[in-house]
Amino acid sequence: MVNSTHISYFILTAYSDTGFFKYLYFLIILALYICIIGANVLLIVVICVNRSLHEPMYLFLCSLFVNELCGSTGLFPFLLVQILSDIHTVSAPLCFLQIYSLYTYTGIQFTNLSTMSYDRYLAICYPLQYNTRMTSNRVAFLIALTWLFPLIAILILIFLTVPLTLCGNIINKVYCDNFSIVKLACSDTTVNNIYGLIITFFLIMFPVSLTLISYMRILRVCFSGSKQTRQKALSTCTPHLASLLNASFGSCFEVLQNRFAMKYVPNMLRILLSLYFLTCQPLFTPVLYGLKMTKIRIICKRLLYGEV
């Protein structure tokens, strides 16, 4: 048995020898990363600079875009280095740092979407009381909670994993994954497994449930109201729901893949689906909101093309 503190690196075995094509993959991933950085930074600047967008809905959006940048930075530079490398290894500290970055990104993503759904619920179902309920102090509290809870919860997860006694250092993925490391343990992992299920519930399942409940109530109010109310509600809620569904698809597959063998799924398909949430979501979200949110779309056109 080898103690995890003596393991200086992990080997990522999901990479295959792509030969000359690795340079093509490198360029594709680099282009995707540049697009993600550009789209998210643009929308963050638009929201921060324009005082007309200093409303709860746009502040929650800004928090979402900042999280997209953090999550992308935790994955893409690492992927770019690994694609060009002939030896796919990662040091233990960097591996745990990547786990912390990607897991907090996922947790913040779902809690942020849940907070946004609560904001839309108040705005549509209680329009006259919205300003008194969604005060600046409450907005600041919700954003702080959205970030602090996942940051602390994942930090505890890492502290539980680091002391484990490991019997190997091979991870069958293209990035570091906490559950893959736990499976390498020779020591008892009961606490790790229970805590993993707990934070999966509180960071994914619980926020998704709250989001769906909020939108069910919103839809009930919409269909009992006027046509104008329905149109306004659908125009603001559609991007939120689309983003939630997109995030849920990738995350659910990753949870299922970690908890079950899924050997019947081809290896290449497993890799692509495990990367889907981490690569497509950061690009999908800003494009979706940039196109659907009228205020953001108009200001972006003004900045990019000088249109009035």
pLDDT in tens, 16-68: 776 777 888 899 999 999 999 998 998 898 888 888 888 898 899 999 999 99
In sequence order, what are the residues at sequence separation of 6 or more whose Cβ sits closer than 8 angstroms to the Cβ of residue 151? 104, 108
Cβ atoms of 208 and 112 closer than 8 Å: no
Q: Name the DSSP letter for residue 205.
A: I
Residue of 56 and 261 predicted with greater confidence? 56
Task: Read off the tokens for 54.
Answer: 């200093």
Closest CA to 229 of 155, 304, 127: 127
Higher pLDDT, 270 or 186: 186
What integer pLDDT is reported at residue 1 of this predicted model? 37
**Residue % of the chain over a pLDDT of 90:** 38
Distance between CA atoms of residues 289 and 186, nearest Å: 46
CATH topology of domain 2-305: Rhopdopsin 7-helix transmembrane proteins (1.20.1070)
Q: How confident is the model at residue 263 (pLDDT cuts 50, 70, 90)?
A: low
Q: What are 10's strand-pairing partners?
A: 90
Whether residue 97 has pLDDT greater than 70: yes
Reported as a single tens digit per residue, the pLDDT across 133-188 is 999 999 999 999 999 999 999 999 999 999 888 888 888 888 999 988 998 988 88
Q: How many residues does the chain have?
A: 308
| Amino acid present at 87 | I
Q: What span, in angstroms and rounded, lies between the C-alpha atoms of 112 and 142?
A: 9
Calpha distance 290→287 (Å, rounded): 5
Q: Is 55 exposed, middle or buried (0-12, 13-18, 19+ CB in 10 A)?
A: middle
**What is the 8-class DSSP label of residue 53?**
G
Written as six digits, the tokens of 92 are 């233990």
Residue 308 has pLDDT above 60, yes or no: no
Domain locations along the chain: 2-305
Q: How far is Cα 42 from Cα 160, in angstroms, rounded to an integer?
A: 38
Task: Report the distance separating Cα 99 and Cα 90, nearest Å.
Answer: 12
Q: Bridge-partner residues for 185, per DSSP?
A: 166
Q: Half-sphere exposure of residue 245, counting CA atoms within 13 Å on the CB side?
A: 8
